[in-house]
Amino acid sequence: MIAIEGLSKTFETSGGEPHLALDGISIDIPKGQFLSILGPSGCGKSTLLYIVGGFVPASAGRIRVDGRAIAGPGPDRGPVFQEFALFPWKTVRGNVLYGLLQQGVPRDQAERRVSELLQMVHLSRYADFYPKELSGGMKQRVAIARTLAYDPAILLMDEPFGALDAHTRTKLQNELLSIWERDRKTVLFVTHSVEEAVYLSDRVMVMTPSPGRQKAVFDIDLPRPRIRAELLLNRRYQEYLIAIERLVQDGGEDEA
Partner 1 sequence: MIGRALKSLILHSASLILLLGAWEAVCRAGMVSPHLLPAPSAIFLRLLVQLADPAFLIHLGQTVLRIAVGLALATAIGVGVGLAASRNRLIGRLLEPLVRVLAPIPKIALYPALILMLGFDHASKIALIVADAVFPILLATYHGARMVEPKLIWSARAAGASERQCTFTIVLPAALPSIYTGLRIALLIACVVVFLAEMISSSDGLGHLLIRAARSFRTLDMFVPLLAVSLLGLALNGLATLAGRRLLRGFAL
Ligand X SMILES: Nc1ncnc2c1ncn2[C@@H]1O[C@H](COP(=O)(O)OP(=O)(O)O)[C@@H](O)[C@H]1O
What distance in Å separates the CA atoms of residue 79 and residue 85, rounded to the nearest whole number?
A: 10
Contacts of 217 (CB under 8 A, 6+ apart): 27, 203, 204, 205, 206
Q: Which is nearer to partner 1, 77 or 203 (CB)?
A: 77
Q: Which is nearer to ligand X, 17 or 250 (CB)?
A: 17
Residue 21 binding target from ligand X, partner 1, Mg ion, none, CB below 5 to 8 Å by type:
ligand X
Contacts of 65 (CB under 8 A, 6+ apart): 1, 2, 3, 76, 77, 154
User: In a 3-state reduction of DSSP, which class is residue 81?
Assistant: coil
Position 161 contacts partner 1 (CB under 8 A) = no
Position 91 contacts partner 1 (CB under 8 A) = yes
Q: Which is nearer to Mg ion, 36 or 46 (CB)?
A: 46
What distance in Å separates the CA atoms of residue 237 and residue 223, rounded to the nearest whole number?
A: 10
Shortest reach from residue 65's CB to partner 1, in Å = 13
Before 225, cis peptide (omega within 30)?
A: yes
Kindly tell me which residue out of 98, 126, 180, 199 binds partner 1, with binding defined by CB under 8 A.
Answer: 98
User: In a 3-state reduction of DSSP, which class is residue 121?
Assistant: coil
Position 45 contacts ligand X (CB under 6 A) = yes
> Given the rule CB under 5 A, which of 43-51, 73-81, 135-143, 174-182 is the region that contacts Mg ion?
43-51
**Beta carbons of 5 and 61 less than 8 angstroms apart:** yes
Pattern 27-56, partner 1, x by CB under 8 A: -----------------------x--xxx-
Position 46 contacts Mg ion (CB under 5 A) = yes
Position 130 contacts partner 1 (CB under 8 A) = yes
- Residue 151 Cα to chain centre, angstroms: 15
Position 107 contacts ligand X (CB under 6 A) = no
Binding site for Mg ion (CB under 5 A): 46
